[in-house]
Amino acid sequence: MKELKNRRFSNMIVIVPVCSIIFMFLLIFLSFQFIMDRHIDELTKDDIKIEFEIMDEIFYEKENDAYTVWGLDDTSLSVSIEYMILNDAGDVLFDSADFFMQTGLETANFIAEYISLHELPKNQQSTKIKIEDRTYLISGKYYEGIYNDNDFIIQAKAGEKANTYLYVVYMDITTLQELVNTINKSLIVTLLCIGILSMILIFQTIKKVRVSFRLLERYLLKIGNKENVQEIPQFCYEEFSNVVKTVEEMENRIAQSEQLQKQFFQNASHELRTPLMSIQGYAEGLKYHVIKDTANCYDVILQESKRMSDLVDEILFLSKFETQTLKNDIIEVDNMLYDCANQVYISRYSHIDIVWNVPKGITIIGDETLLQRAFSNILSNALRYAISKIYVTGAVENQNLYIHIIDDGEGITPQDLPHIFERFYKGKGGNFGIGLSMTKDIINKYHGTICVDAKPGHTDFCVKIPIS
């Protein structure tokens, strides 16, 4: 597997916003240019089209009032629309601006020179050109005809030789372009100011983030080295404070877990020592013929050996429980509960009656071995504390299986009740502090819940497991 190259987070939170700002600046600027060019084209398109229509009517010698409106300034942009005629050699034959306003042919010659070097767009599309400090919009159309004395192009009649002429319409849009340039400059200045302000804010934020990271790193190192942290660092941002709170909670849980494990091993050592001492004492008594009631000795040795075996079995199960792969068995609930009762119901509980109310035909999918252990632990506790009766009921509601195991014992003390599902917690009369915590972990694996309602004469363990 290819190893990923580590990057500095502080660098990335600079690069990404800066690149984003530059990209947005270019996008806004280019979009504005595109929109303004399109807008100017749309505004001038109709005026240019009218000029070509007038020229077409003259060329085809149609009867209209075109001559009366030629060369007026009344356009949608309030700028002058001029025209010029070029022969096939590119020479200017006529320029309306020079004809009407005596401006000379300097502008027309510049446009003619541009046209000789560049091909005009087809279909009377306009193009923008720059001549010194002026900006023009030009468009052209070719005609095959003759150039008459009225400075127009008309169709050649029979016997007349037709030549190619270029009819060019041009508009001085310098005022509009200057407005666009002014807006562009204002836009650039505005975006630069926003960019600079954003960069200042970003660098200020990065500075605070770096300080927070250093404080957090030192704090975590102290926690990792189990040093006594006298003062919790103060951060500028809530996220870092939340990390510290999470670390504190984890540290408290780890400390609590270590304390419980320590307590468990102490209890386990004591629990192992007690039966071992009993076994050793009775074994020595049998060896040296001190004890006469040998039958009772054998019972005690067997009982204490089983107690040690159960404890070792619980410890081994805990060691592999977290990584155990779950099976998908089809489990008949009533048979499983009967098997659990048979496993834990021994002769010394013969005075206790188990009352069953579990309907047949209820099935769930799960690991039968794990679920048997979970319910066996609950039944074992119920048998240990019950006085005369245990009630086992089962029902299905809203695709959930509900199992209630109720005993008539003296109940669970208020001091023990909040902790009975904690691992290694040993309540009054408990064995090893493993059984109920293990039961809860197994039920949780199946997205179920377990709760207890405890009062004198009625202790009810309720297990809910989704059937699917």
Q: Tens of pLDDT along 12-35? A: 777 777 788 788 888 888 888 888
Residue 63 has a pLDDT of: 55
- The SS3 assignment for 387 reads coil
With a cut of 60, say whether residue 45 has pLDDT above it: yes
pLDDT one-digit tens code per residue, 386-422: 889 999 999 999 899 999 999 998 888 888 888 888 7
- Asked if 88 and 165 touch (Cβ cutoff 8 Å), the reply is yes
> Residues with Cβ < 8 Å from 314, sequence gap 6 or more?
432, 434, 435, 438
For residue 413, give the DSSP letter.
-
Residue 72 has a pLDDT of: 43
- The SS3 assignment for 430 reads coil
Computed over every residue of the chain, the mean pLDDT equals: 81
Across 292-321, average pLDDT:
75
With a cut of 60, say whether residue 4 has pLDDT above it: no
With a cut of 80, say whether residue 10 has pLDDT above it: no
Q: What b/e sequence results for 422-434 when a residue is b if at least 16 CB atoms lie within 10 Å of its CB, and e otherwise? A: bbbbbbeebbbbb
CA distances from 209 to 51, 224, 334 (A): 65, 22, 60
What is the share, in percent, of the chain residues with pLDDT greater than 70?
86
With a cut of 90, say whether residue 380 has pLDDT above it: no
pLDDT one-digit tens code per residue, 64-99: 544 444 444 444 455 678 888 999 888 888 888 877
What is the share, in percent, of the chain residues with pLDDT greater than 90?
11
With a cut of 70, say whether residue 281 has pLDDT above it: yes
Pick 273 or 204 by higher pLDDT: 204
> Residues with Cβ < 8 Å from 376, sequence gap 6 or more?
340, 343, 344
Across 122-146, average pLDDT:
86
Cα–Cα dist 382/345, whole Å: 11
